[in-house]
Every structure is written in structure tokens, then in C-alpha cells.
Amino acid sequence: MRKMILLLLTIFLVLVLGATIISVKNKDRDILLYHGNVYSNATDLEWFQKKKESFQKGEKMGETNKALLFRWNFSATKLPKGTAVYSTNDTGVFIAETEAGELLFYIRQLKE
């Protein structure tokens, strides 16, 4: 019984500490998580301005949530919960559409 409690406590601490590290590390970044990849908001980046026009909004993939603790698909740091996320004609780019109709472009980052 004692070993079981110790094991459960250890698992709990690993989850909590891991989530804290993820949250602190990404607190100020505008990111979206999907299938273990990090996508950063590139909408306002100067080099990306010319490329934006080449991406077409595809099918709705899902909606954002705030569950960075478990790194679920479409967990987001800045987007409101429930923001629609769409595929594009490029597998490395997602489009998020806000309630106001603004399109935000998220590009896949290399592994950190």
C-alpha cells in the first residue's frame, strides 16, 4: 500500500512539475499545439506578409482549448477557448479564425 501511494505521488509530481515548466516556458508566446508540434503565430511577421496570400483556408480541424497541462491538440496560450482552427494547403500552417473574423496564421516550428 505504501509503495502504491509513493508511486501515485511521484506520478502526480511529474505531471504537475512538467505542466509548470510548459506553462512558464510558453507563457508569453502565442502558440498552438497539435500532434506534439508547436505552431507559432506568424501573422504579423514582416517576412511572412507576402506569403500569407498563398494559403487557402481548408476544412475545420477543431477548436482551441486552454489545456496546456496535458498538451492536447489545439491547446493555445493566447487564443480564446473555442477559436476555430482550419487546415491550409500547406501542412506546416494552420489558420485560426477569431469570433471577429480575423484570420491568424500559425506556422510549425522546428523542435526545440
Are 89 and 95 spatial neighbours (Cβ–Cβ below 8 Å)?
Answer: no
Q: Would you place residue 4 in the very low, low, confident or very high pLDDT band (cuts 50, 70, 90)? A: confident
7 domain-assigned = no
Give SS3 for 25: helix
- Report the pLDDT value the prediction gives residue 95, as an integer from 0 to 100: 95
For the record, the C-alpha cell of 83 comes out as 477559436
70 domain-assigned = yes
Give SS3 for 72: coil
For the record, the C-alpha cell of 111 comes out as 523542435
73 domain-assigned = yes
53 domain-assigned = yes
75 domain-assigned = yes
49 domain-assigned = yes
**In whole angstroms, what is the distance from residue 28 CA to residue 13 CA?**
24
Structural domain boundaries enclosing 51: 29-108
State how far the alpha carbon of 79 is from the alpha carbons of 30, 33, 83, 97, in Å.
8, 12, 7, 10
CA angle 86, 68, 111 (to 5 degrees): 75
79 domain-assigned = yes
- Report the pLDDT value the prediction gives residue 24, as an integer from 0 to 100: 42
What would the pLDDT profile of 21-78 be if each residue is shown by its tens digit?
A: 444 455 678 988 888 888 999 999 988 888 888 999 999 999 998 765 556 788 888 8
Total domains in the chain come to: 1
**In whole angstroms, what is the distance from residue 42 CA to residue 51 CA?**
10
3 domain-assigned = no
